[in-house]
Amino acid sequence: MSQKPCLKSRPLPPLSTVEGLDCLDVGKSANVYALDNERVVKRYDGGNDEEVRAERIVYDRLGHHPNIAEFLGALDDGSIVLERGQVLRAVLAQQQTGPDTIPLRTKYRWVQQAATGLQHLHDHGIIQADVGCRNMIVVDGTLKLINFEGCSIDGEGPRSSYEWFSYKPSTPRATVQTDIFALGCAMYEIMTGKPPYYEFKGTENAREHVERLYEANQFPDVARLPLGQVISDCWRGKFNSMREVMGESGTIHIVAEHCRRSSHGGSLLGGE
């Protein structure tokens, strides 16, 4: 774990250096640039002072956490330097087209880490309000949450919105329950490689159509999916906290791992 103090101690770049960096992602309020192999610079668009303020508040409040992308410093123009990882959605997409598959135990671990990071947010009065695989990165095998400029802080209205397939209309618009619902959608994507109701992507009024399905409690079939019951319970409002999600998914993981090892003549205390 010596890498993180090393990252933190590296000098921040001058603003003139940032101008020539490769752009990795273009967002609605900020762009992300590659500083080096382990760090990125997030530059906010002009006129987004509230987003800058919100993200700094979130990072100041959260401190260091193993499932939150690490804040490494700020530049004079308000840009922030963060640790770099691979966006989870891109990792899952590579699985769809590449020869290698992601081990199920890795997916279980990612689900646990996502719920752990979100519980840390909720414990500090923060609702992410845009939970999804696009806002999760993998760093050395560990899942971490990113993008907090649109969060709901201490009950304030969020500036972000959930993706078209991950929101069931709610009042207030962003709550612990809406984050849990969206985590269920992220879990579905982790397990299948595609988000729920992917077949509607690009169709007219996809968001409105899917939201109506959710309001009618019509969800994709998850009966045969790993963690299918947990996903269903996220969607149907059975959990009151991310901690409950962690407990249920962790129990299923232990049972599944026990069955896997038993079928190979091993035990939970044995090797792979």
| The CATH number, out of the four listed (3.40.50.1400, 2.40.50.140, 1.10.510.10, 3.90.580.10), of the domain defined by the range 86-263 | 1.10.510.10
In DSSP notation, 13-53 reads PPHHHHTTSPEEEE-SSEEEEE-SSSEEEEEEPTT-HHHHH
Determine how many CB atoms are found less than 10 A away from the CB of residue 175: 16
**Burial letters for 47-68: b for 16+ Cβ neighbours within 10 Å, e otherwise?**
ebeebbebbbbbbeebeeeebb
Asked: is 3-83 a CATH 3.40.50.10140 domain? The reply is no
pLDDT (0 to 100) of residue 8? 76
How deeply is 100 buried, as exposed, middle or buried, from its count of CB atoms within 10 A (0-12, 13-18, 19+)?
Answer: exposed
pLDDT (0 to 100) of residue 61? 97
- Take residue 256 and report the two structure tokens written for it: 């599944």
Determine how many CB atoms are found less than 10 A away from the CB of residue 154: 10
pLDDT (0 to 100) of residue 48? 72
Per residue in 101-125, pLDDT (tens digit) is: 899 999 999 999 999 999 999 999 9
pLDDT (0 to 100) of residue 260? 61
Beta bridge mates, 44: 30
261 φ, ψ (degrees, to nearest 5): -65, -40
Q: In the chain, which segments carry CATH 3.30.200.20?
A: 3-83
pLDDT (0 to 100) of residue 255? 62
pLDDT (0 to 100) of residue 133? 98
- Take residue 15 and report the two structure tokens written for it: 């603003």
Alpha helices in the chain (DSSP H): 3-9, 15-18, 49-62, 88-97, 104-123, 176-192, 206-215, 228-235, 242-263
Enclosing H/E stretch for 142: strand 142-145
Q: In the chain, which segments carry CATH 1.10.510.10?
A: 86-263
pLDDT (0 to 100) of residue 269? 37
Enclosing H/E stretch for 80: strand 80-83
Low-confidence residues in the chain, pLDDT < 70: 1-6, 47, 97-100, 253-272
Handedness of CA 132, 133, 139, 141 (dihedral sign): positive
Which residues, in sequence order, are CB contacts of 54 under 8 Å at separation 6+?
148, 149, 150, 151, 153, 159
